[in-house]
């Protein structure tokens, strides 16, 4: 039998090991999937910390993340949604004969509507394109504006990032505000376009 430790206890073991009763540590070492439990909990804590880092000093971004999350909570369980893909890379990447390997576009990201958020690293000059679908609408949010994105694409310029793109299915096409669009949507997710942080690159 697997000794599952509640997620909030695992989080406490990670963030403040001394404060947790020793029984929790005993349960952990006796679990046959202790490493998997620990690793999942660490991923969850790092995702929370990464989100806090992304929104620190960016109230405009925090506000839209929360709006989108609240609207998602009101939705019934999602049964089906169109397949939407997002590509990003240099604008001329399709002319691959003229370009080196470093200019190749990243593989397309398939939007997972069960997730609240996706993250896409971009560089200045990259073009982001979202596959079109009649039910799909998109809004963008930067530090200065929130507005519809009818062309379903974004050219990344210096000082742009992060940009938050909110993707919606079945939202009212003439919604005047993002709030209105979120209220009428049947599926919602977000995509953050951000420059990779060199300090946070892996080993």
Residue ranges in contact with another protein by CB under 8 A:
1-2, 4, 6-8, 11-20, 22, 25-26, 28-36, 38-39, 42, 44-45, 48-53, 55-60, 62-63, 65-66, 69-70, 73-74, 116, 202-203
Cβ proximity to another protein: between 13 and 182 the closer is 13
What is the CB neighbour count within 10 angstroms for residue 15?
13
Nearer to another protein, 18 or 159 (CB): 18
Strand order in the sheet with 187-194: 117-121, 187-194, 163-169, 136-141, 146-148
Our CB check for another protein shows the closer of 136 and 192 to be 192
**118 or 129: whose CB is closer to another protein?**
118
Shortest gap between Cβ of 141 and another protein (angstroms)? 12
Residue 36 or 95 with smaller CB distance to another protein: 36
Burial of 185 (0-12, 13-18, 19+ CB in 10 A): buried
Please say whether the beta carbons of 113 and 75 come within 8 A. no
Least separation in angstroms between residue 40's CB and another protein is 10
Cβ at position 166, least distance to another protein in Å: 14
123: left (phi over 0), alpha (psi -120 to 50) or beta: beta
Q: How far is the CB of 111 from another protein (least distance, A)?
A: 18
H runs (alpha helix) in 56-177: 59-74
| Least CB distance to another protein at residue 143 (A) | 13
CA 9 centroid distance within chain: 25
Residue 114 and residue 124: Cα distance in Å, rounded?
29
């Amino acid at each position: 039998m697997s000794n599952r430790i509640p997620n909030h206890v695992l989080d406490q073991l990670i963030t403040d090991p001394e404060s947790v009763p020793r029984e929790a540590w005993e349960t952990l070492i006796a679990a046959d999937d202790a490493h998997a439990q620990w690793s999942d909990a660490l991923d969850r804590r790092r995702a929370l910390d990464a989100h806090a880092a992304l929104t620190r000093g960016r109230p405009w971004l925090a506000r839209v993340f929360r709006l989108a999350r609240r609207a998602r909570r009101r939705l019934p369980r999602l049964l089906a949604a169109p397949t939407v893909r997002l590509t990003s890379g240099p604008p001329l990447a399709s002319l691959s004969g003229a370009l080196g390997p470093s200019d190749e576009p990243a593989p397309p990201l398939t939007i997972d509507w069960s997730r609240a958020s996706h993250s896409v690293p971009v560089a200045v000059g990259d073009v982001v394109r979202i596959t079109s679908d009649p039910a799909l609408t998109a809004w963008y949010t930067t530090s200065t504006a929130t507005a519809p994105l009818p062309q379903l694409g974004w050219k990344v310029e210096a000082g742009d990032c992060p940009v938050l793109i909110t993707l919606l299915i079945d939202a009212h096409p003439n919604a005047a505000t993002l709030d209105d669009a979120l209220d009428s949507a049947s599926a919602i997710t977000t995509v953050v376009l951000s420059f990779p942080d060199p300090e946070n690159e892996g080993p």
